[in-house]
Structure 1
Amino acid sequence: MMISQETRDIYAIIIVGNSGVGKSVLGNIILGRQYFKHDFSARSVTDQTESTTCQLGDKYYRIYNIPGLIEGDEERIALNRREVSRAFEEQTGHSFVIIYVFGHQNGRIRNEDVVTFRAIHNAYRFSPDSLITVVNGLSPDRPSTYDKETQTTLIGLLGMQPGRICFINHLKLDGTQEADVRTYLIDTILNVRPEVHTKTNDINLMIDDVRGLEAELNKLQIEVESERHEHEAMIASMEREYEATQRLLTLRRLFGQAKANLRRLESFREQQEHLIYMLGQWEAEEIVYADDPSSDHFILARTNKQDAEEELAKNVTTQHQIDVALNVCRGDIEQICYELGQIYNGKLDREYYILFDNLRFDSTIANVKHSFLNDLYKFTCHHFGDID
């Protein structure tokens, strides 16, 4: 249908893509009604360019549903080339939006869809600002990274950044998802800029061209996948280094806590010896004045003795708390060592040995009576070899 003088201000939406990618279904969803014929078929259902007008937001659009370009014989490809050209020619000199629909094979962008895109883009030079690409019929259970990774792959294959890239799930037969998809598509259409696309070349595509381009795309796909794997490997390496750094920082903190608690134990040991000595002194003083329990000497000796007993009890309680903290700290250090061993493929980072030697050879805790150092030493030797 040619655009008349009265409808020149109507924008167009040209839906392009190969047979079976769901162009007709998406066109009907945008319209909000069944207009374009579609069916489950081994052959292309759309064999002629179809169009109709609708209002989206405050704008009017003529929506074109175009046959797929690639078919199994030269005659059908030639026919489809004419049908594709027909829609573009009707919009000569007018602004329109291109929606290019990609299918997929188990999530992988199909070569034939890229071939068709390149052939039409070479003829009409799509403007990125007015181009919407759709990857259609996706599993809703696809990996969370799929959309982002496929977007990167698609940009590499197309050699350009489309205005919008949409990922649409496989639709249920009951039609419950269509309202959400329609809202999504209309919002996308209204947020791109229709532009004039001038024909610069003919759509040149023959069976031999398809095969040659597919071979080229296979090579490009391999290169893109290789680059993606290299990027993922680099990210994984950076994440491992980050995790290792975080664990080493935690190790520093744990060894610092252990040293502080061992020093506290040494301090409490000295306090305990002093308290036991003073307790003996006050007990002796109490015995001396036992015959005169009302005397100031007896009362003072008893009071000081009770204070020393209370302080000694507090000292013992605190030491027990420190003992528990040291055992927990040792367990945390051992866990960090296991994790570092996994990150470094069984090899413990050199910094651990520096931290451990700095602790075990510290003269300020050399006389502490606690199993912390011995147990940690046994663990280190057992899991990482003799360190002497």
Structure 2
Amino acid sequence: MLTSRAMLDMYGLIIIGNSGVGKSFLANIILGKHHFKHDFSARSVTHRTESTTCILGDKHYRIYNIPGLIEGDEERIALNRREISRAFEEQKEHPLVVIYVFGHQNGRIRNEDIVTFQAIHNAYTLSPDSLIIIVNGLPPDRPNTYNKKTRAALIDLLGMKLDQICYIDHLNSVDIHREDVRKYLIDTILNVHPRIHIKTNNINLMSDDIFELKDDLDILKIQIDNERYEHEDVIGSMEREYEAVQRLSVLRRLFCQGKADLYRLKSFREQERHLISVIGQWEAEEIAYADDHSSDHYILAVTNKQDAQEQLTKNFATQRQINVALN
């Protein structure tokens, strides 16, 4: 039982990342026991924010295991968004250490992990000195240059300084290196500086911009109607008529351009959802045939999943271009 003094001195430790990157597994390693449910599964295992208290070094922590943000349907994304916000809200008066876990695809950082990180960073302004990045599930025999190149790639992709990046080899539940990894992670946690994290924005994905743009278009249409009504009684004046026509022309052009961009964003959002679904299906096939890497089923699943991920990368790039144009 924690004393009231210990509760006052409690730090938060929030573990974030998308489904399947190993958040629960890593949380259990840090705790030194099996507390959070984890499994080898084609679908997410954690659906609600979970937490427990622990002592690391001489400090008391409440460690949070949180659902991933990006999933295959809007309802799950909305629920996961609330669960992530709930953990930060519970610890808003306590200094926090944030651990963000990246998965990988044959060593490459996944686009969905970058999107989720940016959404949370935009909402809570993650600080480099209280942030730990983990790239999890790596092959022990990876190239010697992998860690250095991945660090440079992450700094470029995230657009921020990164003080602590941990590269964790693929482990199983009985791996003899688990205790070494636990010590490594705890030492890293104790060497960062917990910070108070205040929410400054909502956790928004690119798809949320579609709805904001639609509201802006509705307002713009009202302005067009008001302008037309306002200038009906002065249509006889050439000077005012010309000014009114010019203003209406600009508004119509903005409205048409905004409407076209809205349709484009909707189209790309539909493609994005389809591609995430396809990636999930092929990932399930890859898992099903993982015991035989030479089988046609496994090779087809890996190839098709990679193709879908490349298409998703292009989709994200185009969406960013549209959003830059709109802003």
Normalised to the residue count of structure 1, the TM-score between the two structures is: 0.53
For the residue of structure 1 that corresponds to 2:136, the secondary structure is strand
| Aligned-partner Cα distance in 1 for 2:73–2:194 | 34
| Aligned-partner Cα distance in 2 for 1:208–1:199 | 18
195-204 vs 6-15, which moves further: 6-15
For the residue of structure 1 that corresponds to 2:140, the secondary structure is coil
Inter-CA distance 65–11: structure 2 relative to 1 (3 Å threshold): same
Per the alignment, residue 74 of structure 1 pairs with 74
**Greater relative contact order (Cα 8 A, min sep 6): structure 1 or 2?**
2
| Aligned-partner Cα distance in 1 for 2:313–2:78 | 19
| Aligned-partner Cα distance in 1 for 2:315–2:12 | 33
- Partner AA of 1:193 in structure 2: H
1:141 aligned onto 2:162: no
| Aligned-partner Cα distance in 2 for 1:216–1:153 | 20
- Partner AA of 2:184 in structure 1: Y
- Partner AA of 1:102 in structure 2: F
Per the alignment, residue 258 of structure 2 pairs with none
Inter-CA distance 190–69: structure 2 relative to 1 (3 Å threshold): same
Q: Measure how far apart 1:41 and its partner are.
A: 1.1
Q: Measure how far apart 1:163 and its partner are.
A: 2.4
| Aligned-partner Cα distance in 1 for 2:177–2:316 | 33
Per the alignment, residue 103 of structure 1 pairs with 103
- Partner AA of 2:180 in structure 1: D
Per the alignment, residue 349 of structure 1 pairs with none
| Aligned-partner Cα distance in 1 for 2:164–2:198 | 21
- Partner AA of 1:205 in structure 2: L
Q: Measure how far apart 1:208 and its partner are.
A: 7.2
| Aligned-partner Cα distance in 1 for 2:141–2:112 | 25
- Partner AA of 1:124 in structure 2: Y
Inter-CA distance 215–92: structure 2 relative to 1 (3 Å threshold): farther
Q: Which has the larger radius of gyration?
A: 1
Please list the CA deviations of residues 236-259 of structure 1 after superposition, one character each: whole Å capped at 9, or x if unmatched.
xxxxxxxxxxxxxxxxxxxxxxxx
| Aligned-partner Cα distance in 2 for 1:145–1:133 | 18
For the residue of structure 1 that corresponds to 2:186, the secondary structure is helix
1:152 aligned onto 2:183: no
| Aligned-partner Cα distance in 2 for 1:117–1:161 | 14
For the residue of structure 1 that corresponds to 2:47, the secondary structure is coil
| Aligned-partner Cα distance in 1 for 2:20–2:171 | 14
| Aligned-partner Cα distance in 1 for 2:314–2:20 | 22
Q: Measure how far apart 1:195 and its partner are.
A: 0.5
For the residue of structure 2 that corresponds to 1:196, the secondary structure is coil
Per the alignment, residue 30 of structure 2 pairs with 30
| Aligned-partner Cα distance in 2 for 1:71–1:5 | 40
Q: Measure how far apart 1:5 and its partner are.
A: 8.2
| Aligned-partner Cα distance in 2 for 1:45–1:21 | 11
Say what the alpha-carbon RMSD is for the aligned residues. 2.3
Q: Measure how far apart 1:7 and its partner are.
A: 1.0
Per the alignment, residue 7 of structure 1 pairs with 7
Please list the CA deviations of residues 205-256 of structure 1 after superposition, one character each: whole Å capped at 9, or x if unmatched.
265777499547658xxxxxxxxxxxxxxxxxxxxxxxxxxxxxxxxxxxxx
Q: Measure how far apart 1:56 and its partner are.
A: 0.5
| Aligned-partner Cα distance in 2 for 1:214–1:123 | 23
Asked whether the equivalents of residues 10 and 59 of structure 1 are also in contact (C-alpha less than 8 Å), the reply is yes
Q: Return structure 1 stretches of 4+ with deviation > 2 angstroms.
A: 172-175, 205-219
1:48 aligned onto 2:48: yes
Listed as ranges, the gaps of 5+ residues in structure 2 are: 210-268, 274-311, 319-327
Aligned length: 218
Inter-CA distance 188–43: structure 2 relative to 1 (3 Å threshold): same
| Aligned-partner Cα distance in 2 for 1:161–1:217 | 23
Per the alignment, residue 221 of structure 2 pairs with none
For the residue of structure 2 that corresponds to 1:150, the secondary structure is helix
- Partner AA of 1:170 in structure 2: H
For the residue of structure 2 that corresponds to 1:148, the secondary structure is helix
1:179 aligned onto 2:179: yes
For the residue of structure 2 that corresponds to 1:195, the secondary structure is coil
Per the alignment, residue 130 of structure 2 pairs with 130
| Aligned-partner Cα distance in 2 for 1:29–1:162 | 23
